[in-house]
């Protein structure tokens, strides 16, 4: 990574890009150790109440998938220039965050951030791949957390199997992909957090009341809708949410 590019270094490990497919993502998080009580759901609209009503509530996390445009990169660099590199570790963190050092792993990073924060963390089974990863990650500073992810073979295997099972033929792991995932989740401090492994750290976007989630009017206004407004004219995106399973 250079001073201006947050992307993984040349020669870094690489994953096959993950399709934003709720069924595939649900299968992946269950395989990694998330209880079958949770699942990933399509979010068909961020502004239409009737469409939002299809998502079980509360929504525990929201993942946006969007193209990395010149406008986005300009906004990211401007905001990141005012931030210190995150150095948080330990049980006192309001959110747990990983720096992305694996190429094309943003889908996995988004899911990790979604299931590891807020109430979702209570649904991770003890002794599972995710349970062990989280237990080992929390005491570590960001650089060591990233190294741990790179060494976790079970994570790479589960990701490869899921990414290869999508509806469309997957690109190669080494391909340059312009789509990126960002996660919005509630922290233990009641804040709405933007979690993205390409940033300098987790970003607190505001306060959520106890009865508000990431898809509430306030949660969307502070999070996803404000994020998309900064994108300017390019509003190509898709979204999925982590919430109770429909079964």
Q: How far apart are the first and last CA of the chain?
A: 43
| Active-site choice (30, 41, 113, 180) | 180
Is residue 163 within 8 Å of residue 19, measured between CB atoms?
Answer: yes
Q: Which tokens go with 48? A: 């239409």
Q: Dihedral of the CA atoms 138, 139, 141, 147 (nearest 10)?
A: -70
Strand arrangement of the beta sheet that strand 203-207 belongs to:
38-42, 238-244, 61-67, 179-186, 191-195, 203-207
Provide the strand spans (E) within the chain.
Answer: 38-42, 61-67, 179-186, 191-195, 203-207, 238-244
One of 30, 106, 159, 183 is an active-site residue; which one? Answer: 106
Structure tokens at 104: 């094309």
Burial class (CB in 10 A: 0-12, 13-18, 19+), 69: middle
Based on the residue annotation, tell me whether 180 is a catalytic residue of this protein.
yes
Q: 84: which DSSP letter?
A: P
Which own/partner contact pairs does 200-207 have at CB distance under 8 Å and 24+ positions apart?
200/6, 200/80, 200/83, 200/84, 200/85, 200/86, 201/83, 201/84, 201/85, 201/86, 201/88, 201/97, 201/142, 202/86, 202/88, 202/95, 202/97, 203/79, 203/83, 204/94
Catalytic amino acids?
106, 180
């Amino acid at each position: 990574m250079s001073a201006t590019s947050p992307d993984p270094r040349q020669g870094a490990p690489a994953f096959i890009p993950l399709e934003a497919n709720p069924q595939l993502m649900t299968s992946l998080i269950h395989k990694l150790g998330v209880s079958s009580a949770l699942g990933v759901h399509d979010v068909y609209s961020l502004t239409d109440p009737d469409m939002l009503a299809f998502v079980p509530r509360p929504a525990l996390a929201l993942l946006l998938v969007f193209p990395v445009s010149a406008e986005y990169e300009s906004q990211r660099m401007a905001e990141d220039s005012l931030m210190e590199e995150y150095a948080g570790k330990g049980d006192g963190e309001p959110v747990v965050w990983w720096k992305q050092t694996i190429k094309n792993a943003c889908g996995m990073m988004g899911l990790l951030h979604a299931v590891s924060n807020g109430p979702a963390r209570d649904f991770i089974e003890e002794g599972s791949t995710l349970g062990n990863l989280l237990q080992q990650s929390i005491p570590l500073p960001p650089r060591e957390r990233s190294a741990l992810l790179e060494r976790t073979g079970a994570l790479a295997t589960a990701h490869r199997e899921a990414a290869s099972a999508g509806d469309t033929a997957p690109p190669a792991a080494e391909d340059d992909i312009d789509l990126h995932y960002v996660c919005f989740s509630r922290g233990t401090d009641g804040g709405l957090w933007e979690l993205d492994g390409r940033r300098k750290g987790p970003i607190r976007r505001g306060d959520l009341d106890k009865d508000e989630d990431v898809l509430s009017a306030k949660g969307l206004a502070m999070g996803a809708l404000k994020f998309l407004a900064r994108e300017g004219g390019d509003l190509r995106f898709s979204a999925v949410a982590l919430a109770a399973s429909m079964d």
